[in-house]
Structure 1
Amino acid sequence: MQNKPGRTVIAAAVKLVVAAVAMGSVMGVASAAAPDSTRVIVKFKPGHGANIKSAIAAARGNVKHEIFGMDAMAIEVPLTALKGLQNNPNVEYVEEDLVRRPFALTSASTGSPYALGQLVPYGIKQTQSDLLPDTYVGNRKVCIIDSGIDRAHEDLVGNSINMTGQYDSGTGNWYTDENKHGTHVAGTIAAVNASGVGVVGVNSNKRLKLHIVKVFGANGWAYSSTLASAANQCAAAGANVISMSLGGTSSSTTESNTFASLQSKGILNIAAAGNDGNTVVSYPAGYSSVMMVAAIDEFKQWATFSQYNSQVEIAGPGVAVLSTVPTNTGSASELKVSTTTYKPGAITGAPNKVATGTLADFGLGDRTSSTVSGKVCLIARGTVDFATKVMNCQNSGGVGAVIYNNVAGGFGGTMGTTIASIPSVTASDTEGAAMRGQLGLGATVTVKRTSYGYLDGTSMATPHVSAVAALVWSYFPTCTGSQIRTSLTRSAQDLGTVGRDVKYGFGLVQARAAYDRIRTYGCGA
């Protein structure tokens, strides 16, 4: 989640005139406004679109996006035209069209309740999703607003009969995903329980209905006008839950009105708190009509990247979450030294290769050395970035690199824009210490393609909560979204300070406990 452009450019233009045009693509490609112009949302009075069409043309502006389900549109106009357009009586309000972005540990199945030969992400058990069968979840629909999904993925295709979505000329087909985010979210919600295949989602038995609205293309961001349209499209498709692993700073009247309207219709809106690790309130999660989700790790500890404030309402698993990514776009890391098999972390951008050589000490990797030629470099974390360490190993003739932590625990890294030709992985501090006792032994570093990946973020916590909400709600379909929301918070496992707090909200979402509460006390009690 990133900060958005400033709002001062439209402060004086609170009554900006716009014109309606024939409705085109609902989800246009996100692109920044020209330097001498600004992009804003204009809400106009019903029936007056045609009356102001000529005014917007005279102002040399153009319509960028007409908001589905509202008398409003996003336009781009020259800055010099704002004062001359601000007094039209047919305009209700004008606001900046804000940028919205996606917010970016397993055990083997024992055969019950999931088939053998697949992994069960820790979040499944942590949220009690394995204790509540998804027998009735076919009566619920979750709408995922994100980057689309890989519908052909081996762990999602089995549920494709229950998937719908919409094509858009800007972002493309809803069943493609150019940046992995949406597919990962979908897998947490509904990866299929299939023997020998991948992972399981919260609702894993091919019953849950999904509707996909793709707002993020390869560029990875969208506008608040696009989000408002997407949410209204979710409602039009019959969604009960809207899951949004996205957001940005500053509120939008258009968004606020949209989600308030959807809540009044019984829909449950759920969104990510944000990943900047500060007290800033992100939107849409910050609206009272939206449930804000924080992230915790496998030990039920607050994730340090998770934004914390009084609006945080509930928490979900969001650290090292394993889920689906578009077919063969992920990387799996393997490391073996002599007869010891380790569980390394991934370095994003490492090439898919296998390298074998003698394990050699490469210190901090902050300089080249011919002593590691033909060998696998064991490198301590610190001093210089990961890319520099790996490239120094490569330029020294090294065939592979292992970077071990200088603090407790494992970690992941990235090569950034650097392109290396040798495979590289990470290791924990304890694994690094063990390997220092194995110098001179044979080592194999493997980075290979996979259709699964680990991701961190409140983006990963949000689909856990959305999926649990649909699962619990399926047993009590006469409840409203607001009542399910109340039941989830009152049945959450309290974490941190007793009672609601800024990091965990009411606590960790619990499927079985929520079911038991509603069964005993009724909807929303």
Structure 2
Amino acid sequence: MMQSKTRMSTIALAVKMVVATTAFGVMGAASAAAPDTTRVIVAFKPGAKANVKAAVAAAKGNVKHEIFGMDAMAIEVPAVALKGLQNNPNVQYVEEDVIRKPFALTSPSTGTPYATGQLVPYGIKMVQADQLPDTNATNRKVCIIDSGMNRDHEDLVGNVVTGEYDAGTGWWYNDEDGHGTHVAGTIAAVNNSGVGVVGVNANKKLKLHIVKVFGANGWAYSSTLASAANKCGAAGSNVISMSLGGGRKTKTEENAFNSLQSKGVLSIAAAGNDGNTVISYPAGYASVMMVGALDENKAWATFSQYNSAVEISGPGVAVLSTVPMGTGSEAVLTVGTTSYAPGAMEGSPAVVRTGALADFGIGDQVNASVSGKVCLIARGTVDFATKVSNCQASGGVGAVVYNNVAGAFGGTLGTTVTSIPSVTATDVEGAAMANQLGQSATVGIKASNYAYFDGTSMATPHVSAVAALVWSYFPTCTGAQIRSSLTKSAEDLGTAGRDTKYGFGLVRAKAAYDRIASLGCGN
């Protein structure tokens, strides 16, 4: 089982493999405004930058970020100075520089269309990426605004990638958070036999441009996003993918995305993960396509924000993709000669232990008979932390908690700290292991290069990658026409027609291609 993130999920990985919420940083290191000061965006008249900077200095303020491609800057000033700046004849408007945040099941390939030994995340087939080759993708570029990308990742090496240096967050190829690398994997993880997963565009043809806007500190401002989007445009990007957002709009961001739309760029962003009706931005701007999340059964993900602005949906629950090398985790479980596909118990230490498998009931009591053994524990009545703690207190070296209803499940130890590894198993696996008591069992958590993430952050790159894939076949179409074609060819889900949870429905690559091939770009 791989590590899960963004909204935690522990889903079993039925293969053997050695394999959001942060927010984004600013040009200078992200930090909250000092007490009695406020951070705002000041838009000024063309040619008035020097005069406005002088006014900011006179007000005992500081310029924090000059917005790339716009006559605007983010400043931090004493709150009492705001009125004077608003009345300055060189200033067009002043607005709050609000915070923006990111909103993170497979089958083995049979050899067609992906190499044998590849894991195919369920979302790849769900969006029909396996039905539309990325032969022409060299004519498209996707810009990913996120936490950067681990360019040396075994499953991303070979892609055509460019990126930006940021004075606050550093080089685009260093991803301290993992979020951006996960997004990049969904878009373009490489079809390389025996290594990891595949992305929507899996054959190293699609061009990527990475703008790193957040680091390990966890948040930043809308001014940074406006700059980042403009940099995407300046780099010649066709599609901008943004797995991030926040609850309030700004005129500066809206102007940036409106301008990019007028230049033919298709901007796509996450709806948000709070499970309410709040409209997040930038997804809520008319010039940006808002993406909601679905699970592997095409059901609405309960964390996905729902409102009239949701336009389209993509896979966003238990999405397996790349994370910086060695930062993910994989659950392992073998009993005798049988290898199982466990889930990781959240909070388990990353260790692997071996001992004879022993029945530990429901784990409600300490029992010295399991000393030196692996505890097989039935789910039910007692919380997971107590079950694993009792196993440890009994001298057990590891714990396996199996389900008392059908299917896999995710467990957490909460604030309880244990020294023994613990994993979860399905009811079927538990029944099988009950017939293997006394056999040697190996259980644990080990480092991985992949992880399961949940979130509209994961749905967004599916849609962005499909947009680029379809567009590569029809490069004379405009971004607006591709956007319209994606919605008109989406698989209608939920209430008939557009609705607040699914938008127009599930994005589908082959269906969109067929529609344009039959009806043309503008229909």
Q: More displaced, 429-438 or 46-55?
A: 429-438
Q: Structure 1 pair 372/136, CA: closer, same or farther in 2 (3 Å)? A: same
Give the C-alpha shift of residue 356 in structure 1: 1.9
| Structure 2 equivalent of residue 121 of structure 1 | 121
Structure 1 residues 111 and 262: alpha-carbon distance in aligned structure 2, compared to 1, 3 A threshold: same
Instruction: Give a deviation string over 1:305-339, Cα, whole Å, max 9, x none.
Output: 11111111111111111111111111111223445
Q: Aligned pair 1:318/2:316, yes or no? A: yes
- How far 1:184 sits from its partner (Å)? 0.8
1:497 correspondence with 2:517 = no
TM-aligned CA deviation for residue 109 of structure 1 = 1.0
How much does 1:59 deviate? 2.1
The answer for the alignment partner of 1:34 in structure 2 is: 34
> How far is 1:481 from its partner?
0.6
Q: Which residue of 1 aligns with 2:240?
A: 242
Structure 2 unaligned blocks of 5 or more: 1-19
Measured against aligned partners, the alpha-carbon deviations of 1:195-223 in whole angstroms (never above 9, x if no partner) come to: 22111111111110000000111123221
> How do 1:163-178 and structure 2 match up within 5 A?
163-178=161-176
Provide the rounded CA distance (Å) in 1 between the counterparts of 2:380 and 2:91: 56
Distance 2:220 2:417 in 1: 28
Q: Does 1:194 align with 2:192?
A: yes
Deviation at 1:479, TM superposition (A): 0.7
CA contact (8 A) 1:26 1:66 kept: no
In 1, are the aligned partners of 2:189 and 2:202 still within 8 Å (CA)?
A: yes
Shift of 1:371: 5.2
Is the contact made by 2:26 and 2:224 (CA closer than 8 Å) also made in structure 1?
Answer: yes
Offset at residue 480 of structure 1 (A): 0.8
Shift of 1:430: 4.8
Task: Give the conservation status (yes or no) of the 8 Å contact 1:293–1:315.
Answer: yes
Q: Relative CO higher for 1 or 2, CA cutoff 8 Å, sep ≥ 6?
A: 2
Query: What is the identity, as a one-letter code, of the residue corresponding to 1:512?
Result: K
User: What is the DSSP-based 3-state SS (H/G/I as helix, E as strand, rest coil) of the residue aligned with 1:158?
Assistant: coil
Structure 1 residue 412 corresponds to structure 2 residue 410: yes
Alignment-derived partner of residue 327 in structure 1: 325
Q: Secondary structure, in 3 states, of the residue corresponding to 2:465?
A: helix
Consecutive unaligned residues of structure 1, counting only runs of 5 or more, are 5-24
Letter of the aligned partner of 1:308 in structure 2?
Answer: Y
> Aligned in 2, Cα 1:405/1:102: closer, same or farther, shift over 3 Å?
farther
Opposite residue 205 of structure 1, the aligned amino acid is N
- Per mean C-alpha deviation after superposition, the further-off stretch among 205-214 and 330-339 is 330-339
Give the equivalent residue in structure 1 for 2:9.
none
Q: What is the letter of the counterpart of residue 90 of structure 2?
A: N
Task: Name 1:474's counterpart in structure 2.
Answer: 472
1:167-218: CA deviation from partner (whole Å, max 9, x where unpaired): 1121111011111111111111111111221111111111100000001111
Q: Please show how residues 346-495 of structure 1 align to structure 2 within 5 Å.
A: 346-360=344-358, 370=368, 372-379=370-377, 390-391=388-389, 393-405=391-403, 409-413=407-411, 420-432=418-430, 435=433, 442-495=440-493
Gap change, CA 1:278 and 1:386, over 3 Å in 2: farther
**3-state SS of 2:331 partner:** strand
Question: Can you list the C-alpha shifts for 1:279-312, whole angstroms capped at 9, x where unaligned?
Answer: 2111111111111111111111111111111111
Contact 1:102-1:220 at 8 Å conserved across structures: no
Cα 1:263/1:408, change in 2 over 3 Å: farther
Q: 1:204 to 1:32 in 2, by over 3 A?
A: same
How far apart, CA to CA, are the structure 2 residues paired with 1:37 and 1:193?
51
Distance 2:387 2:284 in 1: 41
Equivalent residues of 2:104, 2:316 under 8 A apart? no
Task: State the SS of the aligned residue for 2:101.
Answer: strand
Question: What is the rounded CA distance, in whole Å, between the counterparts of 1:134 and 1:114 in structure 2?
Answer: 12
2-structure distance, mates of 1:97, 1:521 = 43
Distance 1:482 1:358 in 2: 61
Q: What secondary structure, in the 3-state scheme, does the structure 2 residue paired with 1:157 have?
A: coil
Counterpart amino acid of 1:38?
A: T
Residues 328-374 of structure 1: CA deviation (Å, up to 9, x unaligned): 11111122344543321123453332212244455666776655432
Q: What TM-score do the two structures reach when normalised by structure 1?
A: 0.89
Matches within 5 A, 1:149-160: 149-159=149-159
- Aligned-residue offset at 1:519: 0.8
| Counterpart in the other structure of 2:263 | 265
Greater Cα offset, 456-465 or 446-455: 446-455
Worse-superposed segment, 368-377 or 109-118 = 368-377
2: distance between equivalents of 1:311 and 1:431?
A: 43
Q: Is 2:50 aligned against 1:50?
A: yes
Q: Distance in 1 between matches of 2:329 and 2:189?
A: 19
For residues 415 and 219 of structure 1, what CA distance do their matches in structure 2 show? 26
Amino acid paired to 1:30: A
Larger deviation: 421-430 or 355-364?
355-364
Q: Which amino acid aligns with 1:218?
A: A
SS at match of 1:184: helix
Higher mean Cα deviation, 262-271 or 300-309? Answer: 300-309
Question: What amino acid sits opposite 1:36 in the alignment?
Answer: D
What corresponds to 1:344 in structure 2?
342
Is the 2:26–2:169 contact (alpha carbons within 8 Å) kept by the matching residues of 1?
no
Structure 2 residue 93 is matched with structure 1 residue 76? no
- The alpha-carbon distance between structure 1 residues 195 and 314, as it changes in their structure 2 partners (threshold 3 A), is same
5 Å matches for 1:509-524?
509-524=507-522
Distance 1:429 1:389 in 2: 17
Q: Are residues 1:99 and 2:111 paired?
A: no
Query: How does the TM-score come out when normalised to structure 2?
Result: 0.89
Aligned amino acid, residue 51 of structure 2: N
Q: Which moved more, 1:458-467 or 1:413-422?
A: 413-422
Partner SS state of residue 65, structure 1: strand
| Partner residue, 2:112 | 112
Inter-partner Cα distance in structure 2 for 1:512 and 1:434: 41
Amino acid at match of 1:71: D
Instruction: Give the stretch that moved more between structures: 83-92 or 227-236.
Output: 83-92
- Structure 1 Cα separation of the partners of residues 39 and 404 of structure 2: 46
Report the RMSD for the aligned CA atoms in angstroms.
2.5
SS at the partner of 1:199? coil
- Structure-2 change in CA distance of 1:491 and 1:58 (3 Å): same
- Following superposition, the deviation at residue 497 of structure 1 comes to 1.5
Deviation per CA, 1:23-61: give whole Å up to 9, x if none.
Answer: xx9723221112322211111222222113232223221
Between the aligned partners of 1:389 and 1:64, the Cα distance in structure 2 is: 51
> Identity over aligned residues, as a percent?
76
Bigger mean CA deviation after superposition, 140-149 or 329-338:
329-338
- Aligned partner of 1:513: which letter? A
Contact 1:26 1:229 in 2 (8 A): no
Distance 1:392 1:56 in 2: 62
User: Of the candidates 269, 279, 282, which is equivalent to residue 281 of structure 1?
Assistant: 279
Aligned residue for 1:269, secondary structure, equals strand
- List per-residue Cα deviations over 1:425-469 (Å, max 9, x = no partner): 223355446556666554321322221111111111111110010
CA distance in 2 between partners of 1:223 and 1:384 (Å):
44
Residues of 1 paired with 2:327 and 2:90: CA distance? 49
Q: Secondary structure at the match of 1:246?
A: coil
